[in-house]
Amino acid sequence: MNANAQRWLFRIVHIDNLPTLLQRGALHAPNATPNDGLVYRTIHDTNVQASRSVRTIPCGPGGTIHDYVPFYFGPLSVMLLNLHSGRVAGYNQGQEPIVYVVSSIERVIAANRPWVFSDGHGLAEFTNWYADLSRLDEVDWDLVGARYWADRAEDNDRQRRKQAEFLVRDHLPWSAVAGIGVLNAAARAKAESMMAAFPAARGTTVRVRSEWYYY
């Protein structure tokens, strides 16, 4: 990885959650979500989330994965493909309502938020965790942004490495959001309409990034 490159972070959420995130002024970890009655539409596999709620983090601030706001290092996640292909129970809307909330490692640090990162899927037993930016070379930078990541006979660890994560403890303020990525112009119009009511969203650009979605 180019040490001078912007180190982008990608989180996918349902577009209907943008008003809730903006009203709260932050993205929150499951264990730090305010009890404010605001609606948040989940797009996650419940079995996976149950496992993440008890998986401990062995470095940095510690705790469990659910004490953190999770980001991927690249788009085109395995999770997005599962949503696209109808493999998540209770979800059947495809990719259009799914938007990317984009930040960067630099913005997380500037916001003074604690963090850790992994070299692969957070639930895999042999995934390693780090709290030292000098270890970023442990991330497979070619693979985390790749469109094609299936395991191969000569490399059956690709899917795990594709899902390397950067976790932010407790919450990340909206001020650390660099922008929003959407599938098409219709989604951009909807996102911009939702965000227009919130002063915190001023300056947050919504861009069509169709290349971040599956065909």
By annotation, the residues acting in catalysis are 52, 165
CA neighbours closer than 13 Å in the CB half-sphere of residue 200? 16
Residues 91 and 43 sit within 8 Å (Cβ to Cβ): yes
Q: How many CB atoms lie within 10 A of CB 48?
A: 15
Nearest C-alpha neighbor of 9 from the set 127, 172, 211, 151:
172
As given in the structure block, the two tokens for residue 26 are 């932050």
User: From CA 72, how far away is CA 90, in angstroms rounded?
Assistant: 23
DSSP 195: H
User: From CA 11, how far away is CA 107, in angstroms rounded?
Assistant: 14
Q: How far apart are the first and last CA of the chain?
A: 27
Nearest C-alpha neighbor of 127 from the set 77, 69, 56, 74:
56
Q: Is 160 helix (H, G, I), strand (E, B) or coil?
A: helix
Q: Report residue 76 CA to chain centroid gap.
A: 11
